[in-house]
Amino acid sequence: MAKKVNKPLSSFFSKLGVVPRKVLKEFRVLPEFDLPGGTSFSADYFDVGSYIDVSGITIGRGFAGAMKRHNFSGLRATHGVSVSHRSHGSTGHRKDPGKVFKGKKMAGHMGCKKITVQNLKVMDHDIERGIIVIKGCVPGFDGAWVTMADAVKKPLKRNIL
């Protein structure tokens, strides 16, 4: 991995005294816990029973229709509907206002965007293997990189480091 890092990043890693990594993330910490740069966190950072926020890139679905993208029910199978059973229906009004409003739910690109799932509970962790067991949905495909941080909407109930 060290041979694939460009010169500015390699000097950055050498100043911190850290082996070059594939993914580099930055975290905010409270001012009273002023940590030096290059501090690494392991699975024991999050206590069992604490709440965390998990961010990741969702699974990309490509171009998706209105039924898949917005959970529309589609049109009838009879009563004059011939070809457009899976369409979204009408897009707007007539002469007034004479346009399609912004944000109208239509077919388009679905997924492949950053999502944060909040207030997930840490159920267990294995320190030797570096595994954290979380109750709830984690965004992203299998093997994707995710970012975990202390929950913003829940109080912090432990001493950091």
Taking all residues of the chain, what is their mean pLDDT, rounded to a whole number? 89
The reply to whether 56 and 70 lie within a common domain is no
Residues 120 and 56 in one domain: yes
Domain shared by 84 and 116, yes or no: no
**Whether residues 71 and 150 fall in one domain:** no
Instruction: Find out whether the peptide bond into 139 is cis, omega within 30 degrees of 0.
Output: no
- Domain presence at residue 117: yes
How far apart, in whole angstroms, are the C-alpha atoms of residue 118 and residue 151? 7
Please give the DSSP secondary-structure letter assigned to residue 97. Answer: B
Question: Which residue ranges of the chain lie beneath pLDDT 70?
Answer: 1, 157-161
Put simply, whether the predicted model's pTM sits higher than 0.95 gets the answer no
Q: Is 2 helix (H, G, I), strand (E, B) or coil?
A: helix
What is the structure's pLDDT at 157?
64
Give the angle 73-75-77 at the CA atoms, nearest 5°.
115
Q: Do 55 and 76 fall into the same domain?
A: no
Read off the tokens for 40.
Answer: 């690494």
CATH assignment at residue 124: 2.40.30.10
- The string of pLDDT tens digits covering residues 34-67 is 778 777 788 888 889 999 999 999 999 999 999 9
**Within-domain flag for 145:** yes
**Which pLDDT tens digit goes with each residue over 134-144?**
999 999 999 99
Contacts of 137 (CB under 8 A, 6+ apart): 117
Q: How many residues does the chain have?
A: 161
Total domains present in the chain: 2
| 123 in the same domain as 52 | yes
119, two tokens: 């207030």
Going by C-alpha positions, the residue among 153, 120, 148 that lies closest to residue 50 is 120
Helices (H), the chain: 7-16, 66-70
Q: Is 12 part of a structural domain of the chain?
A: no
Residue 52 lies in a domain: yes
Tell me, yes or no, whether 25 lies in a domain: no
Task: Answer yes or no: are the C-beta atoms of 121 and 135 closer than 8 Å.
Answer: yes
Domain that holds residue 127: 41-60+111-154
DSSP 113: S
| Residues 150 and 71 grouped into a single domain | no
